[in-house]
Structure 1
Amino acid sequence: MSNPYGQQPPYGQPGRQQPNPYGQPQHAPYGQQPQQGYGQPQQGGYGQAPQQGYGQYGQQQQWAPPQPQRPTLRHFGMPVLTMDAVPGRETTEVLGPVVSVVARTRELRPDLRNAGVVEGYTAMLTDSRQDAIAKVVDMAREAGADAVVGLRFDCSEITQSLSEVVAYGTAVKLAPAPEPRTEPTA
C-alpha cells in the first residue's frame, strides 16, 4: 500500500509489505512472541523449544564465581618470626639482614579473574608475600642461619603495571635446644 505520493509507509507501519524472498517467517514487533501457524509459539530449530538465555532451558541458575583457594599456613623449614627473638632459644650469632623482592603484575592472574576482584587480589597478594618469605628463608639457609627474626614487609609500585613485595628480616644462629629434663622415677 502506498500513500498519494507513491511512497511506502515507514518500516513497521501498517500496510508496509516487507520483502521475503526466501519464505522466512515475518518478525514479530518488539516484545511480542512470534507466531507460527495456527497461533502456536515459534519453536527453535528441529522442533526444539526456544532457548532461555545463554543456551539454558527452563529455569536459569544463578552463576557464582569460583572462590580461590584460601591461604594456608606454610612451613619454611626454619623458624621465621616477626618477633626479635625465638622464644626459649638463645641467639648466639647475628648473621645479617636477609632480603627478597618479588615483582608482580598488578593485573589479576587468569586463574583468579572469575573469583571476584577483592577475593582475587587477596589471594594474589597473599601468594606474593609467601613467595617473598620463601626467598628470605633460602637466603638465610645459604648463610647458615637457624632462624629469621624481625620479619617485615614492604610494598610499592614499580611501574603502572608492576608492583613489588619486599620481605626482610635478620638471619641468626641459635644455641642448641635444651634437653628436656626428665624426673627420675623411683
Structure 2
Amino acid sequence: MIVVTTENIVNHTIIEVKGTVFGLTVRARGIGKDITAGIKGLFGGEIKQYTSMLEDARKQAMERLIENAEALDANAIVMMRFDSGDVGQNMSEIVAYGTAVVAVPTN
C-alpha cells in the first residue's frame, strides 16, 4: 500500500477515487505513567512513556487506515494526516485519515 501526505503520487496516475478512509485508536494512560509524568513535569524533559504510547497508537491507527483502504480495493492513500485529541481525563485518541485511491504507474 502506498501512503503519502501529498495530493499526488510521483510517477503514478490516480485512476479512481474510492473515498475517505480512517484508522482510529484510543489509548488510556495508566496511573503509573501519570505519576511519572507528574514528576517529570516538575523537572522538565521528555516523558518517554507517553512518547512510546503515542508512537504505538500512531502505528495502530496507520494499520487500521490501511485495512480500511484495502477493504475498498484501493492500492494507495493520498493526503494522509494524523489528528489527536483527549477523551476524558486519561485517554488519548489518534486518528489517521486520508483518501483511498487506485493508482497505476505512469510510463
TM-score with structure 2 setting the length:
0.81
Matches of 1:170 and 1:178, distance apart in 2: 20
Q: Does 1:93 align with 2:16?
A: yes
Which structure's residues are more often strand, by fraction?
2
Do 2:13 and 2:106's aligned partners in 1 also have CA atoms closer than 8 Å? no
C-alpha distance in structure 1 between counterparts of 2:50 and 2:7, whole Å:
30
* Structure 1 position 150, deviation (Å): 0.6
Structure having the higher helix fraction is 2
- 1:139 matches 2:62: no
1:52-63 aligned at under 5 Å gives the runs: none
8 Å CA contact 1:106–1:161 kept in 2: the answer is yes
Unpaired runs of at least 5, structure 2: 41-45
Query: Structure 1 residues 109 and 172, CA, compared in 2 at 3 Å: closer, same or farther?
Result: farther
How far does the alpha carbon of each residue in 1:76-103 deviate from its partner, in whole angstroms, 9 at most, with x for none?
A: xx11111111110000011100012101
What is the distance in 1 between the residues matched to 2:16 and 2:48? Answer: 41
Distance apart, 1:147 and its partner CA: 0.3
Q: Which residue matches 1:82?
A: 5
1:120 deviates by: 1.6
Picking from 77, 87, 90, the partner of 1:161 is 90
4+ long deviations beyond 2 Å: 106-110
Corresponding residue pairs, total: 97
1:150 aligns with 2:79: yes
CA–CA distance in structure 2, aligned partners of residues 178 and 91 of structure 1:
10
Which AA in structure 2 matches 1:88? N
* Aligned-pair CA distance for 1:161: 1.9
Q: Which residue of 2 aligns with 1:119?
A: 48
Question: Larger Rg: 1 or 2?
Answer: 1
Q: Distance in 2 between matches of 1:178 and 1:152?
A: 25
Q: Does 1:128 align with 2:51?
A: no
Equivalent position amino acid for 1:89 in 2: H
Q: TM-score, normalised by structure 1?
A: 0.48
| Secondary structure, aligned partner of 2:53 | helix
For the residues of structure 1 that align with 2:79 and 2:56, how far apart are their CA atoms? Answer: 20
For 1:141 and 1:162, locate their aligned partners in 2 and report how far apart those are by CA, in whole Å: 28
Larger RCO of the pair (alpha carbons < 8 Å, separation 6+): 2
- What's the counterpart of residue 27 of structure 2? 104
* Identity in percent: 34
Unaligned runs of 5+ in 1: 1-77, 180-186
1:21-40 aligned at under 5 Å gives the runs none
